[in-house]
Amino acid sequence: MNMHGIDWLIIAAMLVCLLAIAYKGKKHTKSVADFLAAGRCAGRYLLAVSEGMVHLGAITLVALFEMFYKIGFAGVWWRWVNVPVVFFALLSGWVVYRYRATRSFTLAQFFEKRYSKSFRVFSGLISFGSGILNFGVFPGIGAKFIMYLCGFPTTFAVYGLAVPTFAVIMFILLAISLLLTLWGGQIAVMITDFFQGSFASISFVIIMGYLFYTIDWSFVGEAITQRPAGESLVDPFDFHKVENFNIWYFLIASVGIVYNWMGWQSTQAYNASGKSAHEVRMGKVVSMYSGAPREHFFLVIPIIALTVMMHPNFGGIASEVNAILNTMQSSHAQDQMITPVVLSVILPKGLLGLFVAVVIAAFVSTHDSCLHSWGTIFVQDVIMPFRKKPFSPQAHMKVLRISIIAMAIFAFCFSLFFNVAQHLLLWFAVTGAIFLGGSGAAIIGGLYWKRGTTSAAFSAMIVGGLLSVTGVVVTQTVENPIINGQWFYLIAMVAASVIYVVVSLLSKKEPANMDQMLHRGKYAVASDSQIVESDASLSKLERLLAVTKEFTLIDKIIYYSTVIYGLAYTIVFVVGTLYALIFGISSGAWLGFWYYYTMGMFCFGAACAIWFAIGGTRDTFRLFRDIEKNKRNDLDDGMVVGHKDLADVSSEPEE
């Protein structure tokens, strides 16, 4: 075992704080809207940090460690292909602004208002099925990560029976995640995820600082430049032989970013939790900064691990790591765990405990949100549409909690018996595409095109889902498939989009009432900020950049800074690519560039960690204040009547 007393003390302190914060959230959960969407009272910093922590996850650490161990800095360059796309989505409020304006708790609830009840149930089932397949591997991979990181044996004996250690870890951490979710719903999930996110960001900075201090950059350079032609870790133009994670992987991801922005529903509650559509939009904008420490950590740690494994100065440590890896049953498990095992060997006591605490926090933050999301989606979008009258608030929350417990039981059993037969990120792509392959067309068409029809949405979802299921079967059963899961994802997106447009044009239905759906004009809701999408008094630049009257001076400073930040990345990528193609750049020059990039992002990430810890703490206290002032409506529970929320119908004046 690698752990010491100080390590266990750090972990225990983190868990005690976590439970105390969750208990605070429990006291404020008094309605279905509180349980589902934190009473729609969350601020931008709280949204950005907590939602970002959901995307972190122990399993995400494993997957990204695996990817960056293979692609190094060279792959980072091609990831920048996505930067203009991401900034467009963040700055414009793409999808999320209009979705929040619908006041829907779940995506499928919006689908019922825009399309039909049958499509709500249909899409809810596909979203739920795709989600639990994707989520089902989370607990097992995360528990194995912690097992190898702590140096636990793979099994231990109980009355002569060999019990898998990872199963016990999985059970304990799932139980903690379940407790937090049951206690306070989205309020408890969000405030604990914020605490864990801030703790993780600060811990990442501390751990990276230690590794930069103890491992000389010259060793890193010598290790990562020892690669065959076509598999460079520093030169993105000598990268074409890297299997699976090549430039096509990232180009397809760019298409998926626009097509499925907000499509994946593991964080669906965050899309509804903002205090206004504008606040949700600003939460997405500032998330570019809140994610800086963790994004850099994903890159730096695998590079350090590769250095330890490849450089002769660390031969003794590499031998110790290989001895541990050789106890694993499959090459896939070895690929997934090599970076965690290296960390377990090189981190000193105290820092190892800090990192294990972060991994546990990442495990809990992902699992409580996924349990909440998939459990509520099943109730809201599969059970509720069949009811003729709404649940009472008490019965509704009881059913939600039962569904969440069922999700935890499923995830435990699935992880116990199912083994992922491909890279984790490719498994995520394929299982996600079961829903995402067709949902993007229905989301974008529903929010932005008044002529999109129910039959078109059905057609897109069916075509995208079938193509993606084919991808699951092929990638899991064929030893060397011609195309991997990411290509199946692209095929599904393109086919579903074409089908949606063609069927909508052929249907010739009455256009949808977009003002009613988006609560604009006479349909506006007093508790939400007035939605202003354009205004003649704004300058041409402001209209071009989608700035509205809702922007305060601080909002504009953050927004314009983000525009400059995104343009800087794009210019560096375009100029660097053209220069490299015309004149060529040596490996030594690339290595120097990556050194300054690494150190610059380290300092930037440290500043962002402090900024968001302060901003998120302020938003948390404001959440508690605002939610107590909320005028709760028991009919605000996600039920739709005649393409309108039941709460809206009940508030309409009689004629």
Domains of the chain: 5-419+508-531+586-645 (1.20.1730)
Q: Quick one: pLDDT at residue 650? A: 54
Residue 157 sits at φ, ψ, to 5 deg, of: -90, 135
User: 């300092």: which residue's tokens?
Assistant: 603
Please tell me the distance from the alpha carbon of residue 234 to that of residue 178, in angstroms, as a whole number: 42
Q: Quick one: pLDDT at residue 389? A: 86
Please tell me the distance from the alpha carbon of residue 409 to that of residue 406, in angstroms, as a whole number: 5
Q: Quick one: pLDDT at residue 235? A: 93
Q: Quick one: pLDDT at residue 616? A: 95
Q: Quick one: pLDDT at residue 45? A: 96
Q: What is the pTM of this model?
A: 0.84
Residue 12 clears pLDDT 60, i.e. is over it: yes
Burial 596-610 (b: 16+ CB within 10 A, else e): ebbeebbeebbebbe
Residue 422 clears pLDDT 60, i.e. is over it: no
Residue 532 clears pLDDT 60, i.e. is over it: no
Residue 42 sits at φ, ψ, to 5 deg, of: -85, 145
Q: Quick one: pLDDT at residue 620? A: 95
**Are the beta carbons of 344 and 1 closer than 8 angstroms?**
no
Q: How far is CA 532 from CA 66, 117, 281, in A?
A: 44, 29, 13
- Tens-place pLDDT, residues 344-393: 899 999 999 999 999 999 999 999 999 999 999 999 988 988 888 888 98
CA dihedral 256, 259, 260, 261 (to 10 degrees): 100
Q: What single-letter DSSP state applies at residue 156? A: E
pLDDT-based confidence at residue 428 (cuts at 50, 70, 90): confident
Please tell me the distance from the alpha carbon of residue 53 to that of residue 46, in angstroms, as a whole number: 11
Residue 655 clears pLDDT 50, i.e. is over it: no
Q: Quick one: pLDDT at residue 59? A: 74
Q: Quick one: pLDDT at residue 644? A: 73
pLDDT-based confidence at residue 528 (cuts at 50, 70, 90): low
Residue 246 clears pLDDT 90, i.e. is over it: no
**Are the beta carbons of 123 and 496 closer than 8 angstroms?**
no
**Are the beta carbons of 285 and 558 closer than 8 angstroms?**
yes
Q: What is the mean pLDDT of residues 308-315?
A: 92
**Are the beta carbons of 107 and 123 closer than 8 angstroms?**
yes
pLDDT-based confidence at residue 527 (cuts at 50, 70, 90): low
Higher pLDDT, 45 or 487: 45
Q: 3-state DSSP helix/strand/coil percent for the chain, to nearest 5?
A: 75, 0, 25
DSSP string of 164-188? EHHHHHHHHHHHHHHHHHHHHHHHH
Please tell me the distance from the alpha carbon of residue 299 to that of residue 306, in angstroms, as a whole number: 11
Q: Quick one: pLDDT at residue 632? A: 79
pLDDT-based confidence at residue 648 (cuts at 50, 70, 90): low
Please tell me the distance from the alpha carbon of residue 324 to that of residue 246, in angstroms, as a whole number: 29
**Nearest Cα to 358, choosing from 614, 146, 136?**
146
Residue 319 CA, chain-centre distance (Å), reads 35
For the record, the structure tokens of 35 come out as 């349980």
- CB burial of residue 149 (10 Å; 0-12, 13-18, 19+): buried
Mean pLDDT across the chain: 87
Residue 653 clears pLDDT 70, i.e. is over it: no
**Are the beta carbons of 579 and 585 closer than 8 angstroms?**
yes
Higher pLDDT, 138 or 543: 138
In angstroms, how far is the first alpha carbon of the chain from the final one?
73
pLDDT-based confidence at residue 122 (cuts at 50, 70, 90): very high
Total residues belonging to the chain = 655
- Tens-place pLDDT, residues 173-182: 999 999 999 9
